[in-house]
Structure 1
Amino acid sequence: MPFIDLETNLPASRFSEDFLKKLCSTTAAVLGKPEDRMNLVVKAGLPMLIAGSCSPCVMLSVSAIGVTDTAEKNKEHSANIFQFLTGELGLTEDRIVLRFYALEAHQVGKKATVMSFL
C-alpha cells in the first residue's frame, strides 16, 4: 500500500488526471505493487527552493511496506522514477529530489485495522 506524495512549485494546471494515472501506473510498476493499492497526492504551486534556486522543481516521497528498505532497491526505484519525471515534466535531474520511507505493516491503517491483520 504505497503512498506517493509529489510536491512542486509547478502550477496545478500541469497535473491532469492523465498525469496522475501515469504517475500511479509507473510507480506501481517500479515498486512491484498493484495499481489498486496505490495512494497518490500532488501538491502544486508551492513556494519551493532546491539547491539554492526557486526554478521549477519537484520533491517526491515514496512510502511503502517492504520495497523501500534497502539502498539497492531505492537506487533502482530512483532511476526509474527520475526517468518518468524528467520525461513527463521536462525537468532536469538536478531539479528533482526523491525521498524513500520504509513502512512497517503496523504503521498503515485500512478497513478499521492495520495492514498486519489484512
Structure 2
Amino acid sequence: MPSLIIATNLKKDQIPEKFCSEATAFLADELGKPPGYILIQVCPDQVMTFGDSGEPCANITLNCIGVVGPDKNRKMAPKLSDFIEKKLGIKKDRFYINIFDIERSSCVWNGSTFG
C-alpha cells in the first residue's frame, strides 16, 4: 500500500508526463511491493515557500506498511532524494520527505483493512 504524496509549487506543466509511472517503478523496486498497490499523488501549483523563498520546493510524504523504518529509511533517503531531484528538478535542500510506517489495521483498501 505504499503511497507517495508530493505537494509542490511546480506548475502542472512542469511535472514530467511519465513521472507517476517512473515513481511507481522506483518504489516497487525499492520497497519490494507490487506496482499495482502503489499510489502516486502529485499536487502541483501549491502556494508554498521553503526558507521564505518561492524557488521550486516540495513537501513529500511516503506511507508504507511494514517495510520502512530507521535502517530502511537511512538507506533509501539518498536514492529517493536523488530521484526527486533528477525527475522533478527540485534541489535536495528544497524539500522534506516524511516517511511513515502505517499499521496494517489502519489502512483500508477494497473495503477492508490489511490487518
Task: Judge conservation of contact 1:31–1:77 (CA < 8 Å) in 2.
Answer: no
Return the alpha-carbon distance in structure 1 between the equivalents of residues 50 and 39 of structure 2: 25
The within-5 A match list for 1:9-24 is: 9-24=9-24
- In the other structure, the counterpart of 2:62 is 62
* Whole-angstrom distance in 2 between the partners of 1:16 and 1:55: 18
Task: Give aligned-pair identity as a percent.
Answer: 24
Q: CA contact under 8 A between 1:12 and 1:45: conserved in structure 2? A: yes
Task: Give the aligned partner of residue 81 of structure 2.
Answer: 82
| Structure 2 Cα separation of the partners of residues 20 and 106 of structure 1 | 27
SS of alignment partner, residue 99 of structure 2: strand
The residue type paired with residue 31 of structure 2 is L
Unpaired runs of at least 5, structure 2: none
The TM-score normalised by the length of structure 2 is 0.91
Query: How far off its partner does 1:16 sit?
Result: 4.1
CA–CA distance in structure 1, aligned partners of residues 57 and 4 of structure 2: 16
Equivalenced residue count is: 115
Report the TM-score when normalising by structure 1.
0.89
CA distance in 2, matches of 1:52, 1:75: 28
Who is 1:38 aligned against? 38
Please report the RMSD computed on the Cα atoms of aligned residues, expressed in angstroms. 1.3
Give the deviation of 1:47 after TM superposition: 0.7
Query: Matched residues in 1 for 2:111 and 2:56: separation?
Result: 40
- For structure 1, the residue ranges without an aligned partner over 5 or more in a row are none
Partner AA of 2:108 in structure 1: G
